[in-house]
A and B are shown apart, each in its own frame.
Chain A
Amino acid sequence: MLSENVEILLNLLGRIKNDDENSFKEFFFLYQPGVFHFLYRYTSDCETAKDLTQETFIRFWLHRRDIDLSICSNAYLYRIARNLSINYSLKNSRTSRLEDEENTLIRLSRNPETEYDSVFFMDDYQKAIEKLPERCRATFILSRFSGFDYSEIAGILGVSLQTVKNQMNKALSVLKKLLAIYLN
């Protein structure tokens, strides 16, 4: 997190804790893009990410009493987002997602012009991220896309700093291998 934002965030969190709905709205507008991006990178699926973004903020509001102001970051928001995605991936097997993709392709072939913008295809980088094991993937995404430093990631994932380092090294070496053709 950038230091100049810490104060804004802490202020918002304090007011949200006291049931201030306007602050919650402000908070949502500020962090929706970040949470959505995290969830997209994590689930590799745009629609799922949309739904889970919504769910993340709903949970956040419902559990606003649990916000720990001493942590002074939105770690709590990302912890919710990650837990929701774990639950989601347990419930929904990968096959159903593939079926969705097939449906999308059929739809696209019928009406390529109008559907194009609403349909989204993963590139090879995202496919590589998808191949990382869960904790490894969460670590990498939080570092690369959400801009957290290692100690913040340790807080979000509830693991030690050393584990974050190990997971990150693992992520980097796997990605280097998977993406070798792009890295010359």
Chain B
Amino acid sequence: MYRIKKSVDSQFLIRVIEEKVSPEEMEYFERWLEESEENKEQFSTLILLWDKIGASKAPEIPNKEITWRKIVSTLSKKTSPSLSLNSKRSSLHFNFEKDEPKEPNTLRNYHKSFDYIWLRLAAIVFFSAGLIYFINQYQPFHNSISNFEHKKELKEVIKEYTLRTEKGERITFPLGDGSVVYLNADSKLIYPSTFADSFRHVELIGEAYFSVKPYKNRPFEVISGDAKILVTGTKFNVKNRNDGISIVVAEGSVRTSTSVYEKVQTLRRGEMITYSQKNNNPKPVKADLSHYLAWRSDKLAFSHTPLVEVVEEIKRYYNLEAIFLKEKLKSKTLTGLFNTDSLDKIISIINLTLDIRIDRNGNKLIVTDGED
């Protein structure tokens, strides 16, 4: 079938990036992408530009209450009395305003029913005290509800972005709050366009090293699979692959829990915890940092690691496929630290140490024993 080559403009591509296209448009986009290398190049540059600029450093949002107070005080000076923000209706909500203007208002209604000045004075004291009590009692409650609603609505306004790495690819990625994420190969990080004032939250699939910028009263939370990791400012590694979730702390401390193991564990520098189906009593243990953080300095580290997992890592790192011709080889274990600059070297060392044979055929690794 003959198809007229439609043109694709930046507006359309931006809508694709922001996931605002219909399924039909998506299909059209995918065809366009396949059309030429040039198109792929164009799109990948745009998405990179879009993501990186979106994550570019920004100052913290100024305190809302303080800004609001300034706005109200400027407006009170500028506007005529009838439009001022001191009206009875609003005074309960604008809690930072002085309460005095309200008292004459309230008392005016009772003016006529009191004949004696002393009674009136007593009433003033009584009412003022009552009013102050009422405000003190109910305002925090009211505010916490309205704050909660604001947060809920804000959550809808804030957009989520996804950062993905392919096999064989790693990204160092600055977040909007000044924290940095090192995303390992074949991983995914979901992060918001802007962090909320009181809370920072990201989600991780795969492996990443976080260097979280410390902000008091603004905790940083990583959700990875089942696990929840809560920090205020620290450096730590999270690995969430098929075999479970492990968290290693390089600096400061973090608190972890999962939906299965609700007990909150505190991890300090040099400690790690592993959550997996095999481990039914997860506890912090001492860990060799250089081992778990090796990937960041382009090294692969293994310690008594089953060959099947070693090969998984190699597949991820070099973007390869692998076949085991003999099942029993999968459970052989390997220990060692490898430079990643030469895959052939790694293969030959593994072959020698484990007495096996790994052949490389294009982008496929074939694992057999040394005999044939």
Contacts and interface: CB of A to CB of B under 8 A. Distances in A.
Interface of A: 2, 4-5, 8, 19, 21-22, 25-26, 28-30, 32-34, 36-37, 40-41, 46, 49-50, 53-54, 57-58, 61-62, 120-123, 125-126, 128-129, 143-145, 147, 149-150, 165, 168-169, 172, 175-176, 179, 182-183
B59 A40 contact: yes
Given A19-B83, A36-B62, A176-B45, A54 B67 contact: yes
Contacts of A145: 54, 193
A139 to B, nearest CB: 11
B150 interface: yes
A175 B50 CA distance: 10
Given A54-B67, A183-B45, A30 B157 contact: yes
B348 interface: no
B79 interface: yes
B150 A26 contact: yes
B90 interface: yes
Interface of B: 9-11, 14-15, 18, 20, 45-46, 48-50, 52-54, 56-59, 61-62, 64, 67-68, 70-71, 74-75, 78-79, 83, 85, 87, 89-90, 93-94, 146, 150, 153-154, 156-157, 159, 174, 193-194, 197
Contacts, number: 125
Grouping DSSP codes into helix (H, G, I), strand (E, B) and loop, the A interface class, with mixed when no group exceeds half, is helix
Given A4-B156, A5-B156, A29-B68, A125 B74 contact: no
A134 B14 CA distance: 21
Nearest to A120: B59
Contacts of A120: 57, 59
A123 B174 CA distance: 11
A21 B85 contact: yes
Given A21-B94, A54-B74, 12 more contacts: A26-B146, A40-B58, A54-B71, A62-B75, A62-B78, A165-B11, A169-B10, A172-B10, A175-B49, A179-B52, A183-B45, A183-B52
